[in-house]
Amino acid sequence: MAVQQTDLAARVRNGHDRAVADLCDLVRIPSVSADPDRAADVRAAADRVASLAEQTGAQRTDVLAVNGGHPAVVASWPAPPGAPTVLLYAHHDVQPAPAEGWKCDPFEPVERAGRLYGRGAADDKAGVMAHLAALRAHGGRPPVGVTLFVEGEEEIGSPTCDAFMAEHGDRLAADVLVVADSMNWSSDVPALTTSLRGLVDCVVEVRTLSKPAHSGMGGAAPDALSALCHVLASLHHEDGSVAVPGLVQGERPGPDLDEQRWRRETGLLDGVRLMGNGTLTDRLWAQPSVAVLALDAPRVADAANVLVPSARAKVSLRLAPGQEPRAAMAALRSHLEAHTPWGAHVTVNEGARAEPTTLRVSSPEAVIARGALREAFGGAEPVEIGVGGSIPVIALLAEAYPQATILVTGVGDPQANWHGVDENLHLGMFGRVSLFEALLLEQLAASRGVGG
């Protein structure tokens, strides 16, 4: 028998404290996929998710990895006769979290003023627990088939996900795919993400000398750090727009972001001007952007009066929807090589690559999702948004299951500080997201005449 919607809301409320406690346990596991020394922690997070899935009634649960990649969890609740199957995606790995600047230990969650602080609290262990909270609201017996897919390397660009799909894709096939790894317009206004930028990155190394030389040789012998600064400065026009030629430029229809609110939420200092041109949503969601993420060069504290012989930087290029990543990487490489001054030697080592994505949200299942979001968020109308970041698995899922409806939903809000200091989750919104998913499962079943 189908669970009544009012009962669903009560079950989500009654299970909220347990879901938050389980989320805290997950946050305590420092599952940093980028750090080889944390590989055991990434595995521990996968094992914990698998255990939670089994406790929530999964009939089959596996922890799987391919090509030496980090482990993913695949758990399944078979579909009742006539019911669709829904894939629920999230990831259990997290970004690095240097303790500097945090008001708490990044891996010891703390609740303050209705928000839970800790690395992964929003991105994306909240997505894992929203899925499980929705399944718990159905007593571990959802009215549709459910496959839970919790990846372990999203934060490093999902490097083995294509191989994983080739080997285990039959386990992931579904009619509706729910990717709980994006954000809402606000903690009170839900959103469906309809576009995501892609990504390429690289490490550029500049060499000018075979060994350090006395700084008195400067003026004739170029130092590598100055040469690298010239290269990096060439990446932007004077207004801050990307200077790499040949990249796709787009525009984003729909509501624009409030600049003053965005400045506050981003932590932009007074007097710092915005980069680029066009609307704020154009710049964040529909145009390319380039950033220098790291430098390898002597620290100021270790500086000596010598010319630096070599220097490296990691460069990240976000791609507008419609951009082919290989072409973008070729354009970036050509630009870096062309703008290396003084005959310096330059090497460009390619890194991560992710496809940009544009999603259709006009299917009957998307209409059902909008209604479930509206109900879970107290009548607030869902907003269609773009996202400046990337979720590599979405393009792979869209290619593998072209007939499926993909719904990219939010477990964070603009104040969540994803990837940054004091990452946090609005707990009231977490409850609303959990209720949305519970409602969605119920209403998808009802749309096929299942239950009653």
Q: Which residues contact 394 (CB under 8 A, 6 or more apart)?
A: 179, 196, 357, 359, 406, 408
In whole angstroms, what separates CA 225 from the centre of its chain? Answer: 32
Provide the 3-class DSSP secondary structure of residue 237: coil
What are the structure tokens assigned to 64, written together? 């799987």
d(CA 134, CA 441): 8
pTM for this predicted structure: 0.89
- Residues 108-157: tens digit of each pLDDT: 999 999 999 999 999 999 999 999 999 999 999 999 999 999 999 999 98
At 3 the pLDDT is 52
What are the structure tokens assigned to 277, written together? 């041109």
Please tell me which residue, 303 or 241, carries the higher pLDDT value: 241
At 237 the pLDDT is 97
d(CA 158, CA 151): 8
User: Does the pLDDT of residue 4 top 70, yes or no?
Assistant: no
> Within 13 Å and on the Cβ side, how many CA atoms surround 65?
12
> Starting at the edge strand that comes first in sequence, how are the strands of the sheet with 198-207 ordered?
289-296, 310-319, 198-207, 345-354
Q: Counting runs of H as helices and runs of E as strands, what totals does the chain give? A: 12, 18
At 251 the pLDDT is 80
User: Does the pLDDT of residue 405 top 70, yes or no?
Assistant: yes
| Paired strand residues for 94 | 32
Write out the DSSP string of 356-420.
Answer: -EE----SHHHHHHHHHHHHHTTTPPPEEEEESS--HHHHHHHHH-TTSEEEEEEEE-TTS-TTS
Q: Nearest Cα to 172, choosing from 151, 197, 158, 142?
A: 151
Q: Check if the beta carbon of residue 375 is closer than 8 Å to that of residue 5.
A: yes
Q: What is the CA angle 396-194-201, rounded to 5?
A: 55
- Residues 422-445: tens digit of each pLDDT: 999 999 999 999 999 999 999 999
- Residues 326-368: tens digit of each pLDDT: 999 999 999 999 999 999 999 999 998 889 989 988 899 999 9
Class of domain 5-196+357-447: alpha beta
Q: Write down the architecture of domain 198-254+275-354 according to CATH.
A: 2-Layer Sandwich (3.30)
- Residues 181-224: tens digit of each pLDDT: 999 999 999 999 999 999 999 999 999 999 988 888 878 999 99
Please tell me which residue, 265 or 5, carries the higher pLDDT value: 265
User: Does the pLDDT of residue 32 top 70, yes or no?
Assistant: yes
At 360 the pLDDT is 85
User: Does the pLDDT of residue 447 top 50, yes or no?
Assistant: yes
Q: Check if the beta carbon of residue 9 is closer than 8 Å to that of residue 435.
A: yes
Q: Check if the beta carbon of residue 92 is closer than 8 Å to that of residue 46.
A: yes
Mean pLDDT of all residues belonging to the chain: 94
Packed helices 16-27 and 125-137: angle between N→C axes, nearest 10 degrees = 150
d(CA 90, CA 179): 6
Work out the pLDDT band at 242, boundaries 50, 70, 90.
Answer: very high
- What's the average model confidence in pLDDT over 371-375? 98
- Residues 280-297: tens digit of each pLDDT: 999 999 999 999 999 999
Residue ranges of domains in the chain: 5-196+357-447, 198-254+275-354
- Residues 246-261: tens digit of each pLDDT: 999 988 776 788 899 8
At 1 the pLDDT is 42
At 159 the pLDDT is 92
d(CA 264, CA 256): 16
